[in-house]
Amino acid sequence: MDGLPLAIELAAARVKLLTPEAMLGRLESRLRLLSVGAADVAPRQRTLRNAIEWGYTLLSAAERRLFARLAVFRGGIDLEAAEAICFGEPGLDLDPLEGIGSLVDKSFLSRQDREGPAPRFLMLDTLREYAEERLAESAPEAAALRRRHARHFAELATAADPALRGRRPAEWLARLEREQDNLRAALETCLALGEVGLGLRLGGSLWRFWYLHGQYAEGRRWLRELLGRAEEAPPADRLAALIGAGGLAFLQCDYRRAEELLERSRVLAEELGDERRQAEAQQILGSAAREQGHYERAIACHRRSLEIFTRLSDELGAAHSSSYIGFASWLRGDFAETERVCEQTLETFRRAGDPEGIAWSLLNLGAAAGHRGLGVAARGLLKEALVRSSEVGFKEGVAWALDLLGNVALEEGALPRAAEFWRRSLELHHQLGDRWRTASTLEGLARWCAAAGEAARGARLLGAAEALRGEIGAPVPLVERPALERARATLYEALGDGFEARVRDGAGAPLGQTVALALGRDAGERRARREA
């Protein structure tokens, strides 16, 4: 109800006919739903529409047009954006500051409280619904405004793209997060009005934001729809979107699709002479190879991207490629190479203020230290990685840090702490759709079960992880195999002939059910807690 007293009063009157759940389902059209009231009150108070229309009549003609135009915004209105979009052709006989100030004074807009020099305003959803109706009365003007809105936010995303893998990107991440609803509206406009090239540029520029904020599925959905209409779009627009779609497919462990998209983008980048995009495609192809256990191929891809970035004098691009070489190295047990490479990349990323790069270098160094039995050093590195990732909302970094901290805690015999780390990591990886590390955290919790004497649960988790790895085509990383085999032997010894049956149960269970079991949310535990 947007907190509007009249809206709440009118909704309460509907309780005679509709349950609250039924009303919620009808709130796409608040103005139609909220249309009852007592007969002894003023007409403007009998329906929400009447109340809004009464205030609308008090606006000047120019203020009414401005109010209708502001309906193109979602989730907030930046003053600069409002000036660029709403005061263009055809113009308004109104000063931007005076016009917006008047709408604030008359409660059609409210000022958002936030830090920063640029003022930002909010239009309640109820008011926006009415404003959209007024805007729709002039279809050509509405379409032109939506195009201007889409172009404005595509320009914002294009400007943010290089900064997200650059020096001190936190400000750009926060800005895109603030404008996320407007960015979604811009993507919807591109699809609805056939502005596919613009949509591809917008989506291709946003894919790294979707990655850092863990919105893999949403990003894939937008890019899939745009690329499905991209036959006539300029090749340069398709290129960025192909790399983004390939990167997000990789992050959700859809390796075949990722490699297909990335190979297409690599060939297209060569045709266009775009070396930077070639390097980006090679970098992600290397990561896909790494997760499938092809470490030599992964390192070769990363070395090729490193060569290109070095030739382009792109220090940060080269550092990321080097960091991925360190990543593949510890997964295959070459800890010395990881330390040699990632100590250098950590220094580069710290100097540049790149939080993602800092997090990955710390994670790789922490993993190497943990697998070498250097628990104190590993904990310090991984806790810093956790803090750095949390500060900028880098969800994958948070999930990885928790995963590796679980491993360190288990090796030190700190079972409660290990379980807590792995459960939090599992929850995040599962939400992200990262099935590779979902399998790994399930295996970590199976190892925990072996140590804690919960053999039946552990065997089921092992079976689920094996099935998941078979589904995506990603074997257990080389470095994780010895500990997992020891846990398997312990579980087999505890269960005897019942071990294989439990493993089969886990392999056949839906993934969501297995995750609930691993997190301690299965029906049996809930029942036990109720009985207790």
Q: Are strands 110-111 and 77-78 parallel, antiparallel or unpaired?
A: unpaired
Last residue of a domain, one of 377, 395, 415: 377
Is residue 356 in some structural domain? yes
Do residues 209 and 255 share a domain? yes
Is residue 49 in some structural domain? yes
Question: Residue 532: what pLDDT?
Answer: 31
The segments of the chain whose pLDDT lies below 70 read 1-18, 22-48, 90, 114-117, 521-532
**From the centroid of its chain, how far is CA 500?**
38
Last residue of a domain, one of 377, 410, 428: 377
What six digits make up the tokens of 191?
A: 């699809």
Contact between residue 6 and residue 48 where contact means Cβ atoms under 8 Å apart: yes
Domain count, the chain: 3
Do residues 242 and 290 share a domain? no
Question: Residue 319: what pLDDT?
Answer: 97
Q: What is the domain-level CATH number for residue 226?
A: 1.25.40.10
Percent of the chain at pLDDT > 70 equals: 88
| DSSP class per residue in 277-319 | HHHHHHHHHHHHHHHTT-HHHHHHHHHHHHHHHHHTT-HHHHH
Question: Residue 48: what pLDDT?
Answer: 63
Do residues 266 and 295 share a domain? no
Q: Write out the residue range of the structural domain in which residue 29 sits.
A: 5-56
Do residues 264 and 348 share a domain? no
Question: Residue 165: what pLDDT?
Answer: 81
Question: From CA 103, how far away is CA 63, in angstroms rounded?
Answer: 7
Question: From CA 135, how far away is CA 66, in angstroms rounded?
Answer: 10
Is residue 10 in some structural domain? yes
256, 257, 259, 265: CA torsion to nearest 10? 160
373, amino acid identity: G
Question: From CA 454, how far away is CA 474, in angstroms rounded?
Answer: 26
Do residues 340 and 238 share a domain? no
Do residues 246 and 340 share a domain? no
Question: Residue 39: what pLDDT?
Answer: 46
Do residues 170 and 207 share a domain? yes
Q: How many Cβ atoms sit within 10 Å of the Cβ of residue 296?
A: 10
Question: Residue 440: what pLDDT?
Answer: 97
Question: From CA 513, how far away is CA 460, in angstroms rounded?
Answer: 11
Question: Residue 169: what pLDDT?
Answer: 82
Last residue of a domain, one of 273, 299, 328: 273
